[in-house]
């Protein structure tokens, strides 16, 4: 974090934004207009729902990378009637002027707690402020990424229950799911407990639903469900085909290269690139580097994913067999400890490591820094070289966090339009639960017909023309002329 920007991490619930840049440069409305033009799905939903305002009266707390694209999504929420408090789901991913734009344009509707380069204490404080509404109220809905804000709410409620029964405060050992920095979170939760031992119960009282953006977030919610349940219905926007098969693959395919090029200025052609994981994100990363002429190897635990990668022409290898020869290592799994100290100490001079999966523990950067005789040399923002005891130097991007967001600005607008359409439509469904109570506290996803609607909207922007079924063909296939055209379990 910049030495010229500091924040008083007060537990008082703030009614104003806390952002780094308070002055909006001229021309930013033009930048917003450019992003809107590349997000046809969101603009279509605004046109369709802005009069009806299905989110009117909804207090929406959002936790996702505050980039230009997220800025347009937040505009949509405001157009549909919501009041919004927002923070970033990663300490390094905020585009500061996007936060400024929202604060300046919607001072009575949007409150932001986000800036690029937050410390972990600041990161959790921003989430706390986003969840905490004035007058001891909480959000009706969460827009989450990586389960980042829900984790704090869930553990806050459990901590208060445990404290009431045992008198014991929270500890990182109490985590129900793996968290990237649980110590800072529990430090803050215990301070809140001292101030108000029923705070999180008040915040959770109004919660009617959650929408989740990422694979790792859905995985965390499933773990919560197995270990006692969730506090509200979870709509898995990530499980929509127009999110998982587009954002995860095609968004990664572009933003991985964007972040890598901006950070390193290194030519990828001819290099040996090792992609850890061949899920949707891994596929996008592998395609990206192969397209530049790199020799791509893949490591994978899942035999089906490994077979798919092999059929695409990638060598399926063990990390241990390529750790000394690889030039570039990209982790994509959303898991932990994929590249460990014992791997990094064997790497060649000039090797580059980056994570585009989730969180900060796919590469054990802190453990490497603690090794005797390892020296850290700062090259430029979010790019550091580690001199190993044998004299080799390896470069790690973004401290092991998402380098496509820290070193660049994340996925392009068009592909995020498909993702955010899923989130917005999920939020509209959640809002219905405020009065109808249609959904139980389980994980659900949007119907197939909605996925197809999102795809159709974006096809128009690409000047694509869909073939129409005849009634005879539709009857033969057992589908409606208007869709859905596939069964719910169709894998695409």
User: Prior bond to 125 cis, omega within 30?
Assistant: no
Q: Phi/psi at 402 (nearest 5 deg)?
A: -70, 105
| CA-based nearest residue to 89, from 117, 62, 60 | 62
User: Is the pLDDT assigned to residue 85 strictly greater than 90?
Assistant: yes
User: What is the second-level CATH architecture of the domain 18-244+411-449?
Assistant: 3-Layer(aba) Sandwich (3.40)
Query: CA-to-CA distance for 240 and 16, rounded, in angstroms?
Result: 34
Binding-site annotation: residue ranges for NAD(+):
279-284, 300, 404, 411
> Band of the pLDDT at 49, cuts 50, 70, 90?
very high
Q: Output the pLDDT for position 57.
A: 94
Highest mean pLDDT among 158-167, 287-296, 436-445: 287-296
Predicted structure pTM score: 0.92
Q: Which of 98-112, 118-132, 217-231 has the lowest mean pLDDT?
A: 217-231
Q: What's the mean pLDDT in 350-370?
A: 94
Q: Output the pLDDT for position 442.
A: 83
Q: Which of 22-36, 195-209, 288-302, 440-454 has the lowest mean pLDDT?
A: 440-454
Give span(s): CATH 3.40.50.720, the chain.
249-406
Q: What's the mean pLDDT in 323-348?
A: 97
User: Is the pLDDT assigned to residue 123 strictly greater than 70?
Assistant: yes
User: Is the pLDDT assigned to residue 440 strictly greater than 90?
Assistant: no
Q: What's the mean pLDDT in 82-96?
A: 96
Structure token pair of residue 423: 């989130």
Give span(s): CATH 3.40.50.1480, the chain.
18-244+411-449
User: Is the pLDDT assigned to residue 144 strictly greater than 90?
Assistant: yes
Q: What's the mean pLDDT in 137-161?
A: 95
Q: What's the mean pLDDT in 250-269?
A: 97
What does the DSSP 8-state code read for residue 314? P
Q: What's the mean pLDDT in 70-94?
A: 97
> Band of the pLDDT at 3, cuts 50, 70, 90?
very low
Those residues with Cβ within 8 angstroms of residue 463's Cβ, 6 or more apart along the chain or in another chain = none
Helix, strand or coil, per DSSP, at residue 402: strand
User: Is the pLDDT assigned to residue 328 strictly greater than 70?
Assistant: yes
User: Is the pLDDT assigned to residue 16 strictly greater than 80?
Assistant: yes
> Band of the pLDDT at 489, cuts 50, 70, 90?
confident
Q: Is residue 53 a contact partner of residue 81, using CB atoms and an 8 Å limit?
A: yes
Q: Which of 50-59, 238-247, 297-306, 315-324 has the lowest mean pLDDT?
A: 238-247
| CA–CA distances in Å: residue 256 to residues 57, 309, 451 | 38, 18, 26
Q: Phi/psi at 103 (nearest 5 deg)?
A: -65, -40
> Band of the pLDDT at 1, cuts 50, 70, 90?
very low
User: Is the pLDDT assigned to residue 451 strictly greater than 60?
Assistant: yes
Binding-site annotation: residue ranges:
279-284, 300, 404, 411
CATH superfamily of 249-406: NAD(P)-binding Rossmann-like Domain (3.40.50.720)
Those residues with Cβ within 8 angstroms of residue 55's Cβ, 6 or more apart along the chain or in another chain = 77, 80, 81, 82, 427, 428, 431
> Band of the pLDDT at 437, cuts 50, 70, 90?
low
Between these two residues, 182 and 134, which has the higher pLDDT value? 134
Q: What's the mean pLDDT in 151-175?
A: 90
Q: Which of 80-89, 303-312, 427-436 has the lowest mean pLDDT?
A: 427-436
Q: Which of 3-12, 144-153, 161-170, 274-283 has the lowest mean pLDDT?
A: 3-12
Q: Where are the alpha helices (DSSP H) in 293-376?
A: 303-311, 319-322, 341-344, 365-369
> Band of the pLDDT at 237, cuts 50, 70, 90?
confident
Q: Output the pLDDT for position 52.
A: 96
| CA-based nearest residue to 424, from 16, 96, 69 | 69
Q: What's the mean pLDDT in 275-293?
A: 97
Mean predicted lDDT score pLDDT of the chain: 94
Q: What's the mean pLDDT in 361-373?
A: 95
User: Is the pLDDT assigned to residue 446 strictly greater than 90?
Assistant: no
User: Is the pLDDT assigned to residue 434 strictly greater than 50?
Assistant: yes
Q: Output the pLDDT for position 244.
A: 86
> Band of the pLDDT at 439, cuts 50, 70, 90?
low
């Amino acid at each position: 974090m910049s030495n010229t920007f500091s924040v008083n991490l007060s537990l008082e619930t703030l009614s104003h934004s806390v952002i780094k840049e308070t002055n909006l440069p001229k021309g930013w409305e033009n930048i917003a207009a450019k992003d809107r033009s590349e997000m046809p799905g969101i603009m279509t939903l605004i046109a369709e729902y802005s009069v009806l305002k299905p989110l009117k009266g909804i207090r929406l707390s959002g936790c996702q990378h505050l980039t230009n694209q997220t800025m347009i999504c937040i505009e949509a929420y405001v157009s549909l009637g919501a009041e919004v408090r927002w923070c970033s789901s990663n300490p390094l991913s905020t585009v500061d002027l996007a936060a400024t734009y929202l604060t300046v344009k919607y001072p009575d509707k949007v409150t932001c707690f986000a800036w690029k380069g937050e410390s972990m204490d600041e990161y959790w404080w921003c989430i706390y402020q986003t969840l905490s509404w004035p007058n001891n109220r909480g959000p009706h809905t969460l827009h989450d990424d990586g389960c980042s804000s829900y984790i704090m709410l869930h553990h806050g409620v459990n901590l208060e229950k445990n404290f009431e029964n045992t008198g014991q405060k929270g500890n990182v050992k109490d985590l129900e799911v793996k968290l990237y920095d649980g110590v800072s979170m529990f430090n803050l939760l215990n301070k809140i407990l001292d101030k108000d031992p029923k705070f999180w119960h008040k915040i959770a009282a109004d919660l009617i639903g959650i929408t989740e953006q990422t694979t790792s977030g859905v995985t965390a919610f499933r773990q919560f469900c197995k270990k006692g349940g969730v506090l509200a219905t979870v709509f898995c926007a990530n499980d929509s085909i127009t999110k998982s098969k587009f954002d995860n693959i095609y968004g990664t395919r572009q933003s991985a290269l964007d972040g890598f090029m901006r950070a390193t200025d290194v030519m990828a052609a001819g290099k040996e690139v090792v992609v850890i994981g061949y899920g949707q994100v891994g596929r996008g990363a592998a395609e990206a580097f192969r397209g530049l002429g790199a020799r791509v190897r893949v490591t994978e635990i899942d035999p089906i994913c490994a077979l798919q990668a092999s059929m695409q022409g990638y060598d399926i290898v063990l990390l241990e067999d390529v750790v000394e020869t690889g030039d570039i290592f990209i982790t994509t799994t959303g898991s932990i400890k994929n590249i460990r100290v014992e791997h990094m100490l064997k790497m060649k001079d000039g090797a580059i490591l980056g994570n585009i999966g989730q969180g900060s523990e796919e590469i054990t950067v802190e453990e490497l820094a603690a090794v005797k005789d390892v020296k850290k040399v700062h090259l430029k923002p979010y790019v550091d070289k580690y001199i190993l005891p044998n004299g080799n130097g390896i470069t790690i991007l973004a401290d092991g966090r998402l380098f496509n967001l820290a070193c660049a600005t994340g996925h392009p607008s068009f592909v995020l339009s498909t993702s955010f359409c899923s989130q917005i439509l999920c939020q509209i469904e959640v809002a219905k639960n405020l009065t109808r109570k249609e959904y139980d506290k389980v994980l659900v996803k949007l119907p197939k017909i909605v996925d197809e609607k999102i795809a159709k909207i974006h096809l128009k922007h690409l000047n694509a023309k869909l073939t129409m079924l005849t009634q005879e063909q539709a009857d033969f296939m057992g589908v409606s002329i208007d869709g859905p055209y596939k069964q719910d379990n169709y894998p695409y």
